[in-house]
Amino acid sequence: MRGYEAMIKRVVSILCTVVEISPDSVNEGHNLIDDLGLSSLDVVNLVVMFEEEFDIEIADRHIMKFVTVGDIIDYLHKRMEPA
């Protein structure tokens, strides 16, 4: 579970650099656009940052499913799990 919690902190940290809010004010239920005020371009930039941070590639079809912070965390967690 420790790795999962570390991943969440990394996701929130990256998100907060884009949104410029305190990590304490972010939760998994926040909608990226409605609650955090991200534009479509912000979401794309965020994905690029996640790809670099986690050394993965995120397909465009998956980006469209990122509605909440939790969606991103779930996706990355599944990608980072050992096979």
Q: What is the CATH number of the domain that holds 37?
A: 1.10.1200.10
Residue 39 is given by DSSP the state -
Number of domains in the chain: 1
CB 65 within 8 A of CB 75: yes
Residue 31's φ and ψ, nearest 5 degrees, are: -80, 130
Q: Which domain holds residue 38?
A: 2-80
pTM over 0.85: yes
Q: Rounded to an integer, what distance in angstroms lies between the CA atom of residue 31 and that of residue 53?
A: 22
Distances, alpha carbon 59 to alpha carbons 15, 63, 65, 73, in Å: 19, 7, 11, 15
Q: How many Å from the N-terminal Cα to the C-terminal Cα in the chain?
A: 16
The model's pLDDT over 46-77, given as tens digits with 9 standing for 90+, comes to 999 999 999 999 999 999 899 999 999 999 99
